[in-house]
Amino acid sequence: MANRLSDAEITTAVAELTGWKLDGKFIVKKYRFREFLKGVAFVNEIAALSEEKNHHPFIAIDYKMVTLRLTSWNAGGLTDLDVALAKNYDTIYEKM
Amino acid sequence: MANRLSDAEITTAVAELTGWKLDGKFIVKKYRFREFLKGVAFVNEIAALSEEKNHHPFIAIDYKMVTLRLTSWNAGGLTDLDVALAKNYDTIYEKM
């Protein structure tokens, strides 16, 4: 199990991410797509990775916008795993 | 474009649906799945139907729970189309 990050570590980590914002125990990002079904395709890739890592973000699809919200429930807050997955999600988005 | 339903029509329609609740201008239902990826498969079917009908619900995936939220933006509230789609979503869920 990953260790929970300190407030200082979280601040540094979020500053290094692109477009992610801290919201309580979560980090959140909104991704925009040209078409609704492109957003759904993105969600499928995120879902496959989530299942592989056994770490599932909250996913919201609002027409052409997909919002991802990450935290580590078992650690009671954000961990390195959340930060690593946020970067992985961004890479998936950039490839689409 | 479908016509907006009256309050009385909405009350009757929601009473005839299973598990759907009225929430302001929306009807909302939470669907539960045995596995995360079953919920994602359901979302894919909902997405294909939404694109075909050009009527997109708000979709939220919270691990094994999928929440669908429907309204007709162009009519300013609920229409027959929302009620018809709610029934279609239930049929898709029952077949899974």
If contacts are CB pairs under 8 Å, which of residues 37-76 in chain B contact chain A? Answer: 37, 40, 43-44, 47, 50-51, 56, 58-63
Residue B1: which pLDDT band, with cuts at 50, 70 and 90? low
> What is the rounded CA–CA span in Å between residue B34 and residue B10?
32
Show residues of chain A in contact with B47, CB under 8 Å.
36-37, 40, 61
Is residue A55 classed as helix, strand or coil in its secondary structure? Answer: coil
Write phi, then psi, for A61 (nearest 5 degrees): -115, 115
User: pTM for the whole thing?
Assistant: 0.96
- Mean pLDDT over all residues of chain B? 96
Structural domains present in chain A: 7-95 (3.30.1360.20)
pLDDT at residue number A2 = 77
> What is the rounded CA–CA span in Å between residue A66 and residue A73?
21
Q: For B37-72, write each residue's pLDDT tens digit.
A: 999 999 999 999 999 999 999 999 999 999 999 999
Please say if the pLDDT value at position A19 is more than 70. Answer: yes
CB B81 within 8 A of CB B70: no
Q: What is the ipTM of this complex?
A: 0.96
